[in-house]
Amino acid sequence: MVSCKDNVKSKKPEAGNFALAIHGGSGNIDKMNLSDSEKLEYQHVLDSALHVGYAILQTGGTSMMAVEKVIKVLENSPLFNAGKGSVLCNDGSIEMDAAIMDGKTLDAGAVAGVRRIKNPISAAKMIMSKSKYVFLYGTGAEDFVVENGMKLVDPEYFFTKKRKEQLEKAIKEEKDEMILDHDGKTETEGKYGTVGCVALDQAGNLAAGTSTGGLMNKKFHRIGDSPLIGSGTYAENDVCAVSCTGRGEDFIKNVIAYDIASRMKYGHLSLEDAVAQSIQIKLREEKGRGGCIAIDAYGNIVFNFTTSGMFRGSVDKKGNFYTGIGR
């Protein structure tokens, strides 16, 4: 019997190759009016995260380890909408979501609506490796990590002045962080600041992870695409690893991360074409906004977004470091 994966395996991946890509959210970056020094701050954190990932992969560490540690760097920075610096819900609280997936085994772990876990990506990894479940939410997820030795933090840790002010503004103007005129052109403000990482390790294993505070001013314990395997996060060896960012509802309805993998697996497309079709055709047709990072078994990396920018970066085996913000 011919495996579906044979379609994407015509050329053998180079042994010992590795690469990694990250994002820090997509959106209307132009309108954020970032000063040069602010841009440098973003670039500095992206660069630090890439160096952490590079050191792990270069010394033979796993893609899963790289994804977790890299995302922790981004969660610990107040600049991004994940971990510290997450956006606020309508009631003034912070609820975070995250997921991680191992392309080798198709094992995955996810959390949603957690309020006291410093690094939600580590909680997702713990659920994957230490429970029989894939997805835990709220206080149940917090109880689970505590039972397994993780310490919780005071919810105050996650709050920043900037996010409090953004919520006040959003409530006053009755909008979430990014409201779109559905002609697809007019983004009135803001950006999505979710973080994500995809990696290929020297053993040829792919992994993906995504972490977020979700959408500013969200209500009713809304959960986005980030922790949903197949929507915002997906990894499968010999196919690809994907992490998305944008308006979660668009990514959930279009199952974007798995849509990309399917186009490669069943449609025999290259990573670049699969991502372009999912993001620039499918997502755009549905007026969806956002983007993704993706990597394949050969270490090819693709960034693609329908917004005016995406905080992003990558590094390869040769030590080529890249960071970008706008188009």
Contact of 235 with 244, CB cutoff 8 Å: no
| 192 near ligand ASP, rule: CB under 6 A | yes
Residues sharing a CB contact under 8 Å with residue 156, sequence separation 6 or more, in sequence order: none
| Nearer Cβ to ligand ASP (99/239) | 99
Interaction pattern, residues 93-132, with ligand ASP; x per rule: CB under 6 A: ----------------------------------------
| 215 near ligand ASP, rule: CB under 6 A | yes
Which of 190, 224, 230, 291 binds ligand ASP (CB under 6 A)? It is 224
| 83 near ligand ASP, rule: CB under 6 A | no
| 46 near ligand ASP, rule: CB under 6 A | no
Q: Give the sheet arrangement for strand 233-236, strand by strand.
A: 233-236, 240-246, 290-296, 301-305
Cα distance between residue 38 and residue 16, in whole Å = 37
Known catalytic residue at 194: yes
Stretch that binds ligand ASP, among 5-13, 70-78, 135-143, 211-219 (CB under 6 A): 211-219
Q: For the CB of residue 56, give the shortest distance to ligand ASP in the complex, in Å.
A: 24
Which of 193, 230, 288, 291 binds ligand ASP (CB under 6 A)? It is 193
Instruction: Classify 81 in phi/psi space as left (phi over 0), alpha (psi -120 to 50) or beta.
Output: beta
Instruction: Classify 174 in phi/psi space as left (phi over 0), alpha (psi -120 to 50) or beta.
Output: left
| 67 near ligand ASP, rule: CB under 6 A | no
The residues pairing with 206 across neighbouring beta strands, listed in sequence order, are 200
Instruction: Report the interhelical angle of 63-76 vs 120-130 (nearest 10°).
Output: 150
| 212 near ligand ASP, rule: CB under 6 A | yes
Q: Which of 139, 160, 188, 194 is catalytic?
A: 194
Among residue numbers 237 through 296, which ones bind ligand ASP (CB under 6 A)? 245-248
Contact of 230 with 135, CB cutoff 8 Å: no
Q: For the CB of residue 325, give the shortest distance to ligand ASP in the complex, in Å.
A: 15
Residues sharing a CB contact under 8 Å with residue 87, sequence separation 6 or more, in sequence order: 81, 94, 163, 166, 167, 177, 193, 213, 214, 215, 216, 217, 218
Site of interaction with ligand ASP (CB under 6 A): 25, 81, 192-194, 212, 214-215, 224-226, 232, 245-248
